[in-house]
Structure 1
Amino acid sequence: MIVSVHLADIGARAALAALRDRPHPGNTPGLRYAETTITGGIAAGLPKVRLGRAALIAAWEDDAALDRFLAEDPTARRLARGWHVRLQPLRVSGSWSPMPVDIAPAAALDDEDGPVAVLTLGRLRLRRAVPFLRANSRASGQAAADPSMVASIALARPPRFVATFSIWRSESAMSRYAYGTAQPRQRGVATRHESAGNQHKQVIKQHQADPFHHEAAFVRFRPYASQGTLDGREPVAAAMAAATQP
């Protein structure tokens, strides 16, 4: 199993049309899951909606299935002038029943501390929408200010589907943002890096106390191939370059 994320600036009308015309596993060979979304910027405050930028999240049997899609599918042609990345799943927390995540044993044991991509997925409880937006605003502001995050985008398919996608220069840097340490801590074991100011952990605590979502997942990936540019640069190459800096 592999996952791909596609982003392209195609104009507001075409982006809204993409919400209706997403590919379906039943008629796209090798496709396991697909979601098209509108997008926005990740920053403190409410997400800044970017109606002209469309996104596609998709899961595939293998690279050959994605290659066929890119060569033949109308949705792929619509997004062709943008950027897309191929992702190998490494770890998953939570679950996403529309897209069960398969992690190859070799991937799970990979200790290379290189660039990492993170996809968060949620099916929002509408009664919890306002608390979710408030909590997420604080965490988003902290993430946007972190120099280790190379690229990020908010994704949504109203009224319930919400997601984020980000690329970090290393897995350890991402974990320090998310958990206050280079690795998720074991239950009941504190670390000297932890801080009450870690907004991401505060969001997790609030979600555990009264879930924001009917279902949610946090998935880490190794980005292994990409094509095109996003906001004038190629994010994976930028992450690799940042990882070599002190």
Structure 2
Amino acid sequence: MSVFSYHLVKTNYFDAFKFLLFPPKQNKIPGLIHSEVMTAMTLGSPIFSPSRMLIRQVAVFAQWENEEAIDHFLDENHFGKILAKGWHTRLTFMRKWGKFNKFEIPAETTEFENPDSPVVAVTIARMKFLEIPRFIHWGRPVEKLVRDHPATTLSLASIKFPNTVSTFSIWKTQKEMTDMVHGHSKVPKPERHADAMKERDRKDFHFEFTTLRFKPISEFGEWNGRRNIIPDLKNQ
């Protein structure tokens, strides 16, 4: 079974632009199925602000044949060695909604044995250019909902020009995440996510879009001075 990983690293401007322009190629990285290299963004920040686009912060979402391929990449590849200086988590696929090309997403789904287990959610989409203003209008309230939610331990957005956008969030429990999705959270304006999904169903913002849910296996390194970001996992 394949394994996914999500990486965050702060680097210099030169390396950040280089990796965005020339991301790892599947046929040159042993065991890599597909990866998306993106620039990190602050969820909910104003569109035109320094915190919206964090150019030196690189986010990578990848699928691998196995964990040995991740280890080899981080130990032997130039880009991998830079990513190894940051933070990453390894993930087991649980379920999906929607579709996104290039990733080999399993058709079967797996249920969590314990609804109080931590869960990682990743969304990734390719935007329709003419729908970007609508997407921003409906999306920013959802970003703030996720960013400020007491059940998230880490949440961020990322972008790859011209039209790939993604979010990443770690939740203390699966139940708290699903409560947020359905508008049942005990927070101000809990219906923001549910309302945005209704609007997307009415008229899609995207060419392709998927929401993926994962069980975290492990985490490595440090991000913004923090370790043990995922509850109940031993940091390494």
Normalising by structure 2, we get a TM-score of 0.89
The equivalent of 1:2 in structure 2 is 3
CA contact (8 A) 2:8 2:59 kept: yes
SS of the residue corresponding to residue 72 of structure 2 reads helix
1:167 partnered with 2:170? yes
The equivalent of 2:139 in structure 1 is 136
| 42-51 or 204-213: bigger deviation | 42-51
How far the C-alpha of 1:109 sits from its partner, in A, is: 3.2
Q: Which runs of 5+ in 1 are unaligned?
A: 183-192, 242-246
CA contact (8 A) 2:125 2:209 kept: yes
How big is each residue's C-alpha offset from its partner over 1:172-198, in whole Å with a ceiling of 9 and x where there is no partner?
11111111359xxxxxxxxxx9x9851
CA contact (8 A) 2:122 2:168 kept: yes
The equivalent of 1:188 in structure 2 is none
CA contact (8 A) 2:183 2:190 kept: no
How far the C-alpha of 1:215 sits from its partner, in A, is: 0.4
Match of 1:153 among 153, 156, 178: 156
The percent of aligned pairs where both chains have the same amino acid is 25
The 5 Å alignment of 1:193-204 reads 197-204=190-197
How big is each residue's C-alpha offset from its partner over 1:114-166, in whole Å with a ceiling of 9 and x where there is no partner?
11111001000000001101111111111112110110111110111000111
Q: Distance in 1 between matches of 2:158 and 2:169?
A: 11
The 5 Å alignment of 1:48-87 reads 48-87=52-91
The equivalent of 2:181 in structure 1 is 178
Q: Distance in 1 between matches of 2:96 and 2:190?
A: 25
CA contact (8 A) 2:151 2:171 kept: yes
The equivalent of 2:93 in structure 1 is 89
Q: Distance in 2 between matches of 1:240 and 1:94?
A: 28
Q: How many residues align?
A: 227
Q: Distance in 2 between matches of 1:36 and 1:135?
A: 25
How far the C-alpha of 1:104 sits from its partner, in A, is: 6.6
How big is each residue's C-alpha offset from its partner over 1:67-122, in whole Å with a ceiling of 9 and x where there is no partner?
111111111112221101101111101111211212676xx033222111110010
SS of the residue corresponding to residue 238 of structure 1 reads coil
The equivalent of 1:32 in structure 2 is 33
* Aligned AA (1:111): E
